[in-house]
Structure 1
Amino acid sequence: MDGLPVEITVLIVVAIVVILLAVLFTFVPVMLWISALAAGVKLSIFSLVGMRLRRVIPARVVNPLIKAEKAGLKLALNKLEGHYLAGGNVDRVVNALIAAQRANIDLSFERCAAIDLAGRDVLEAVQMSVNPKVIETPFIAGVAMDGIEVKAKARITVRANIDRLVGGAGEDTVIARVGEGIVSTIGSSERHKDVLENPDMISQTVLAKGLDSGTAFEILSIDIADIDIGKNIGAELQTDQADADKMIAQAKAEERRAMAVAQEQEMKARVEEMRAKVVEAEAEVPMAMAEALKSGNLGVMDYMNMQNVMADTDMRESIGKATGDDGDETNPTTKGKS
């Protein structure tokens, strides 16, 4: 730079200084450090540099630390940074701790961080502990002993239980248990009118079962918001049973008819078979007679006498059929009148 003019040399030096300062202020959050010092948070600049090296966004940790310091909470920077590295929401945890402190709820940082890492909204849980939440169930149908369907809708007032928030069941389990209790209470009623007259019996019975055990909530009250009458399930079941019995009877009758038809066909086949045997036997008679004549076991006169007897028998049968058809000849009373 000896050969350059003084003005150019000064400009180059100023530019280098500006670039170095820009890099410094970009890598080292000096303004954030100044804000922490102004808020009374004892924080070294090297701690911020270490956060950068550990790929931690300093503002995500320092700003909640400043907020906690102003609220009177003593939190360690390492704990907040560790919670951030674990994937937690540091700002939400600090807000929950501040809300718990204002509401006189005993909540430690470790417990709050565990709830946050478990996927629960810890701030909402703290707010729900102070201000209970109302959960409304859909219409739940139950059938009384008289066969009438009763539909009921309930409003469940719950409060978050911080101690059971980790590992406790959620709202769906509470709704399912309350629905089961409603169905059981309606089903144990002898008449549907008893449920309509005293709907509070449902809430009293359900509350007595301790349905909030093992859940992340404490049930404060169960109120029946609406109740309605549904179908006559008993009558429908009886109608369906009658239709089923009718179909079974028809099937059995059809089975008996098919068996009768099969037996009739079998009898006809047997008769035809017997007729065929008779015809076959009759066809063998002339052959047997010819064989008897040929062998001398039957004489000619015997054969002629047999033919005469057969002819006489046929004539008698013909006369009998003719006189049987004529009422004047067979009925003496009719013959006298004529």
Structure 2
Amino acid sequence: MPTNFIPIVGIAFLLIVFLMIFLTMVPVGLWITAFFSGVKVKISTLIGMRLRRVVPSRIVNPLIKATKAGLSLDADTLEAHYLAGGNVNTVVDALIAAQRANIELEFERAAAIDLAGRNVLEAVQVSVNPKVIETPQISAVAMNGIEVIAKAKVTVRANIDRLIGGAGEETIIARVGEGIVTTVGSARSHTEVLENPDSISQTVLSKGLDSGTAFEILSIDIADVDVGRNIGAKLQTDQAEADKRIAQAKAEERRAMAVAKEQEMLAEVRSMRAKVVEAESQVPLAMAEALKTGKLGVMDYYNMMNVKADTEMRDSISNLGADKESKGSDSK
């Protein structure tokens, strides 16, 4: 083996490593593509993109596309938008689409729309080709209490001038739903809405619902109208049921008060009976005391007992007659 073979191999290895590092840092193929596409990009610019952690292809390829479309853009402008977190390719596609559709759209506005979180390319496409937004089923009640369920299709076109800061599709749907509820609620009968559903779209469209939104409403079409429940009758039924429960509660309250009053009166009767029994128990003692003290004679006592016995006999006889009469009536 020649003595100078090892140094030659080492030099070749270093050259290969250097070439690999050079090709990694300098996208020569991308530079050649840009050069033959008519885009003037310096090698130092591509190296600077690498050092700034910018993928050169995400700047150069959109720049080539813009140049071929006749747009006047430069690499620094696109790189600044990329570093700001924007989607350079989408912005360039939107600018090309706007140019083809004769829509005035500058790069600054397109970049602002993109950084605001909106899809600027979709906005340009919707501006050229209107979009149909379908609302969910909206329930409204006419004056006669009948529920009307309607579904609308709203044709909108994007308004690029109001795309930044303008409300989105949710606001359009909410406003259209509110307009449908108001229009149906002002109808005297649900049959008026069923006979002329176009009156809903005309009334809602005249309210200027696209004010402050990112869209321009072109038309509102009622896709479906159905009759729902009888809300008025249901409300009356619920009110009657509520009144019934209130009346039942008041009746139960009165019954409870009557029961309490009855219990109170029974307690008073028992108390009076107890007092009578207690008073009757004092009679023999009083009579004994009267006999003892001479205030009541023996003959007087016997006469009183005879009167008492006679009274009891008369009571028993009267009770016996009443029992016979009651038995006779029962037999008849």
Answering whether residue 101 of structure 2 is matched by residue 103 of structure 1, we say yes
Which residue identity is paired with 1:107? L
Mapped to 2, the partners of 1:82 and 1:168 lie a distance apart of 25
The structure 1 residue matched to 2:31, chosen from 21, 30, 33, is 33
Q: Tell which deviates more after alignment, 182-191 or 101-110.
A: 101-110
- Alpha-carbon offset, residue 11 of structure 1: 4.4
The structure 2 residue matched to 1:297, chosen from 295, 298, 301, is 295
Q: Kindly tell me the number of residue pairs found equivalent between the two proteins.
A: 325
Q: Tell which deviates more after alignment, 136-145 or 292-301.
A: 292-301
The structure 2 residue matched to 1:316, chosen from 300, 305, 314, is 314
Structure 1 residue aligned with 2:63: 65
- SS state at 2:211 partner: coil
Mapped to 1, the partners of 2:66 and 2:165 lie a distance apart of 28
Mapped to 2, the partners of 1:175 and 1:4 lie a distance apart of 85
- Alpha-carbon offset, residue 324 of structure 1: 4.2
- Judging changes above 3 Å, is the alpha-carbon distance between structure 1 residues 43 and 296 closer, same or farther for their aligned structure 2 residues? same
- Alpha-carbon offset, residue 263 of structure 1: 2.3
- 1:51-130 matched pairs, under 5 angstroms: 51-130=49-128
Mapped to 1, the partners of 2:107 and 2:97 lie a distance apart of 13
Q: TM-score of the superposition, structure 1-length normalised?
A: 0.90
The structure 2 residue matched to 1:254, chosen from 231, 252, 255, is 252
Identity of aligned residues (%): 70
Structure 2 residue aligned with 1:226: 224
Mapped to 2, the partners of 1:204 and 1:170 lie a distance apart of 22
The structure 2 residue matched to 1:13, chosen from 11, 14, 17, is 11
- Alpha-carbon offset, residue 9 of structure 1: 4.6
Extract unaligned runs of 5+ from structure 2: 326-332
Structure 1 residue aligned with 2:179: 181
Which residue identity is paired with 1:174? I
Which residue identity is paired with 2:174? A
Extract unaligned runs of 5+ from structure 1: 328-338
Q: 1:31-68: CA deviations, max 9, x gaps?
A: 21222222222221111111111111111111111111
Mapped to 1, the partners of 2:48 and 2:324 lie a distance apart of 136
Structure 2 residue aligned with 1:332: none
Q: 1:115-144: CA deviations, max 9, x gaps?
A: 111111100001100110001112111111
- Alpha-carbon offset, residue 4 of structure 1: 4.6
Q: 1:231-271: CA deviations, max 9, x gaps?
A: 11112222222222222223332332333233222222222
Which residue identity is paired with 1:113? A
- Alpha-carbon offset, residue 151 of structure 1: 0.9
Q: 1:278-315: CA deviations, max 9, x gaps?
A: 11110011112222222333333332332222222223
Which residue identity is paired with 1:119? G
Supply the RMSD in Å over aligned alpha carbons: 1.9
Mapped to 2, the partners of 1:179 and 1:227 lie a distance apart of 13
